[in-house]
């Protein structure tokens, strides 16, 4: 019995499974009936059957919103749930079920723990171990609206300080020697969870999610884009999830990378435009033309074109000249030879390699916080009154954690 699947750019998908959860993606009701006939045959052989009361269907594509209810399963109007995440075409319902309900659970937990007389460090522990895990899984898979982040920050810090903030949030997220309490920066946490997907993207993983990403980035050279000096405003990607990933990767790279090799890559470069659009020519890229230096600016247009036609077919003089002229003079003059062999957008930092194929969310978070965290506002006063250097100040902030065991004493 043949059951055809839905194809995304010739990559076929019809079955998604994890543990005992199964999701079938089919193109029409006839195929759905065939699937249930096959499952019925499996029941006769194994004795295992589909639990119709727990099986739900969602119309997709041209059948979106259909009122048909075939197959004897549920076809709810509300969002359906798979692996802990709700799915719906209605964005308001989607965020209500996935975000607002999580916030309600956090509020209930806060009400329970607010009456326990916890120390400052005890509250931080509760926040890290019980409250934030409620949104970690959701934030790693779905876009998190700014209003949800704002509301979550309000709930968490109001619980921490019993009202208004006693110190700045940028100092609270600092480590102990920086005068902080190692509070979690929620915005950095969410960005780190998203950037951790780079490990999967550049790994050997395969699956529908990766096929979809490659389909979205097809016009930009697929994963080549992550090595480019792109601007997300130039991209026409329908997925908000991946748009956020690309935006945050661009910001993260700009804030942390010293070697700016990507600035000189030709393709998808926001500084190199033809008709006010960035460019990606696959045949040039496949030959190895990737950086500004590959345009042979030491030669004139005619000589460089004659050189390139020896290696690239189906090109013309006007196209080649247009590409060369689109490169700003400051890029030509500042050009240095970047590494052509880099297959993933890893970079050097603190004397070592930050390899995105090996890094997890914790690694990204530490770099985000290092850039964002700062000393408390009273640092300047302490330095002046006690004549303290930065190193002496760090030791002073660390001292209570070294000599005291009682958390109330530390917080005092």
CB 331 within 8 A of CB 338: no
The domain of 319 spans 222-234+256-354
Q: Is residue 360 part of a domain?
A: no
For residues 349 and 308, the model is more confident at 308
State whether residue 79 is helix, strand or coil.
Answer: coil
Mind listing the pLDDT tens digit for each residue in 260-303? 788 889 999 999 999 999 999 998 998 888 889 888 888 999 99
Q: Which of 354, 374, 389 is the last residue of a domain?
A: 354
Q: Is residue 63 part of a domain?
A: yes
Q: Is residue 316 part of a domain?
A: yes
CA dihedral 292, 298, 302, 306 (to 10 degrees): -80
Mind listing the pLDDT tens digit for each residue in 203-217? 887 888 888 899 999
CB < 8 Å & 24+ apart, contacts of 152-156: 152/103, 152/106, 152/186, 153/186, 155/103, 155/106, 155/107, 155/110, 156/127, 156/131, 156/132, 156/184, 156/186
Q: Which of 77, 99, 119 is the last residue of a domain?
A: 77
Q: Is residue 113 part of a domain?
A: no
- Considering its fold, how many domains does the chain have in total? 2
Flag whether pLDDT at 342 surpasses 60. no
Q: What is the mean pLDDT of residues 29-42?
A: 88
Q: Is residue 36 part of a domain?
A: yes
Q: Is residue 311 part of a domain?
A: yes
Q: State the chain's mean pLDDT as an integer.
A: 87
Question: What is the reported pLDDT for 296?
Answer: 87
Tokens of 394: 């760090």
Query: Facing residues of 6 across strands?
Result: 13
- E strand or H helix at 149: helix 146-161
- E strand or H helix at 379: helix 379-386
Q: Which of 251-265, 330-344, 356-370 has the highest mean pLDDT?
A: 356-370
CB 249 within 8 A of CB 191: no
Flag whether pLDDT at 153 surpasses 90. yes
How many Cα atoms sit within 13 Å of 390 on the Cβ side? Answer: 3
| Residue 394 CB-density burial (10 A; 0-12 exposed, 13-18 middle, 19+ buried) | middle
Q: Is residue 347 part of a domain?
A: yes
State whether residue 358 is helix, strand or coil.
Answer: coil
Nearby residues of 22 by Cβ (< 8 Å), 6 or more positions away: 15, 16
The string of DSSP codes covering 5-17 is -EEETTEEE-EEE
Strands 21-24 and 15-18: antiparallel
Kindly state the DSSP code that residue 56 receives in the 8-state scheme: B
Question: What is the reported pLDDT for 26?
Answer: 85
Q: Is residue 309 part of a domain?
A: yes
pTM: 0.88
Q: Which of 37, 60, 77 is the last residue of a domain?
A: 77
Question: What is the reported pLDDT for 387?
Answer: 83
Question: What is the reported pLDDT for 343?
Answer: 56
């Amino acid at each position: 019995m043949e059951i055809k699947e839905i194809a995304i750019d010739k990559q076929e998908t019809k079955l998604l499974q994890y543990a005992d959860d199964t999701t079938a993606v089919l193109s029409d009701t006839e195929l759905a009936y065939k699937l249930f006939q096959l499952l019925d045959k499996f029941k006769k052989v194994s004795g295992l059957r589909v639990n119709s009361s727990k099986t739900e269907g969602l119309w997709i594509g041209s059948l979106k919103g259909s009122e048909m209810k075939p197959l004897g399963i549920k076809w709810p109007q509300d969002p359906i749930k798979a692996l802990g995440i709700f799915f719906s075409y209605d964005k308001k319902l989607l965020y209500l079920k996935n975000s607002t309900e999580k916030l309600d659970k956090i509020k209930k937990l806060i009400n329970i723990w607010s009456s326990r007389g916890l120390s400052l460090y005890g509250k931080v522990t509760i926040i890290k171990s019980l409250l934030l895990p409620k949104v970690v899984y959701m934030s790693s898979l779905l876009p998190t609206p700014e209003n949800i982040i704002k509301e979550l920050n309000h709930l968490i810090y109001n619980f921490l300080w019993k009202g208004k903030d006693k110190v700045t949030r940028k100092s609270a997220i600092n480590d102990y020697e920086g005068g902080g309490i190692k509070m979690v920066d929620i915005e950095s946490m969410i960005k780190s969870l998203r950037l951790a997907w780079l490990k999967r993207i550049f790994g050997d993983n395969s699956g529908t999610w990766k096929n979809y990403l490659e389909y979205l980035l097809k016009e930009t050279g697929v994963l080549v884009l992550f090595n480019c000096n792109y601007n997300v405003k130039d991209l026409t990607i329908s997925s908000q999830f991946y748009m956020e990933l690309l935006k945050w990767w661009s910001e993260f790279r700009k804030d942390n990378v010293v070697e700016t090799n990507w600035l000189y890559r030709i393709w998808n470069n926001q500084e190199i435009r033809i008709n006010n659009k960035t460019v990606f020519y696959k045949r040039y890229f496949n030959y190895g033309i990737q950086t500004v230096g590959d345009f042979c600016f030491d030669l004139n247009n005619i000589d460089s074109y004659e050189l390139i036609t020896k290696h690239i077919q189906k090109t013309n003089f006007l196209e080649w000249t247009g590409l060369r002229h689109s490169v700003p003079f400051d890029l030509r003059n500042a050009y240095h030879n970047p590494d052509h062999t880099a297959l993933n957008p890893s970079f050097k930092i603190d004397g070592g390699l930050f390899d995105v194929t090996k890094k997890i969310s914790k690694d990204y978070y530490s770099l985000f916080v290092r850039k964002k965290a700062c000393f408390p506002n009273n640092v300047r006063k302490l330095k002046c009154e006690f004549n303290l250097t930065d190193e002496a100040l760090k030791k002073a902030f660390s001292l209570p954690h070294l000599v005291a065991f009682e958390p109330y004493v530390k917080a005092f």
